[in-house]
Amino acid sequence: MIRAAVLDRFGADVVVRDVAEPVPGPGEVLVAVEACGVGLTLERARTGALGGTTPRVVGHELGGTVAALGPGVTGWQPGDRVTASFYLTCGTCPMCAGGRETLCTAWRGYVGLHVDGALAEAVALPAANLVRVPDGVGLDEAAIAADAIATPYHVFVERAPLRPGQTVAVIGAGGGVGVHMAAMARAFGARVVAIERDAAKEKRLSELGFDVVWNPGDEADWADDLIGVLDGKVDVCVDMVASTATLANGARLTGRGGTFVVVGFQPGTSLMLDPAALILDEVVVTGSRYATRAEIARTLALVAQRRVEPVIGARFALDDTAEAYRAMQHNEVFGRIVVDTRRP
């Protein structure tokens, strides 16, 4: 038996209890989990917004070591340090073959929703999902990097390729992914504008030394004020919040030849655009979806080089997963939450 965080039904709270230790099937690997990240995706999963089935062991941002190999697995050995992709992809459709596996057309679901996940002492996963963790990267850091840092890497490599010296604004820069979005932009040589309403998180962003840290306060239409502070618009704006207000302000903040990237998601929000700006200024409006395994590997290399530092804002033991969820739900933590699954 192992300890694991289980969602018995959508809308319920997760409960940590003993479950049968998973056995790796053909093409699978058993991973002894050391750490698992907790972010807002897990709240969307808990409510049923991402589909899947229950009861289910939840969690997908893992760092661990290979414990056992299922039949037919090659290329991995017990003791190998690994993280994993959140997506269950086919590997053979045109999108996968073309290097865009997050858009897999034969997609099979999410780890932690369609198969059991990693908020547990052990998890069995397809070997194809694993990504090797290099020396110099802690397994807790790898857990963070596989989602909260790889997602920004994908943004600035594929959706809004950055050039050194450009200006990037991040709306919601104090969140678990937002702070790493700002850090990744800086690693690419950009001037970074970190936008955050929470005063405590604003202070932490200032301590991290971003070029401009700006709090819009309670103003609904704040883009013009920030444009005045910056003396111009930005080359790239990334919206981690995606409320109707932030979408409108982010589009307004994006300048000529710039790109507005939507990463956050809130049901029921909308974005109204004046097509004149799209035509006359050639502004690009796009979304960004997670990261490929190759991008996760490159992100881990950046962490190993310490070009991007994972920000772990709080740690919990596995038996305290419910408290980790509450901290995430109440947006209490600056940076990412980590559950240390081996901690008593």
**Which pLDDT does position 266 carry in this prediction?**
87
**Which pLDDT does position 344 carry in this prediction?**
64
| Shared-domain flag, residues 31 and 72 | yes
| Shared-domain flag, residues 12 and 127 | yes
Asked if residues 240 and 173 have their Cβ atoms less than 8 Å apart, the reply is yes
Domains of the chain: total: 2
Residue 224 in tokens: 């013009």
CA dist., res. 30 & res. 288, Å (int): 30
**Which pLDDT does position 343 carry in this prediction?**
73
Asked if residues 313 and 176 have their Cβ atoms less than 8 Å apart, the reply is yes
| pLDDT (tens digit per residue) in 212-240 | 999 999 889 999 999 999 999 999 999 99
In a domain, 258, yes or no: yes
Q: What is the DSSP string of 86-126?
A: SEE--S-SHHHHTT-GGG-TT--EEBTTTB--SSBSEEEEE
In a domain, 73, yes or no: yes
CATH, residue 104: 3.90.180.10
CATH, residue 214: 3.40.50.720
**Which pLDDT does position 277 carry in this prediction?**
82
Domain that holds residue 37: 2-132+311-340
The one-letter amino acid code at 248 reads A
| Shared-domain flag, residues 114 and 217 | no
| Shared-domain flag, residues 194 and 72 | no
Beta bridge partners of 174: none
In a domain, 205, yes or no: yes
In a domain, 304, yes or no: no
**Helix orientation angle between 40-47 and 321-329, rounded to the nearest 10 degrees:** 100
CA dist., res. 190 & res. 205, Å (int): 16
Q: Whole-model pTM?
A: 0.96
In a domain, 305, yes or no: no
What are the backbone dihedrals phi and psi of residue 80, each rounded to the nearest 5 degrees, phi first?
-60, 135
In a domain, 294, yes or no: no
**Which pLDDT does position 262 carry in this prediction?**
98
**Which pLDDT does position 260 carry in this prediction?**
98
**Which pLDDT does position 119 carry in this prediction?**
98
The one-letter amino acid code at 226 reads L
Which residues in the chain show pLDDT less than 70?
344
| Shared-domain flag, residues 157 and 264 | yes
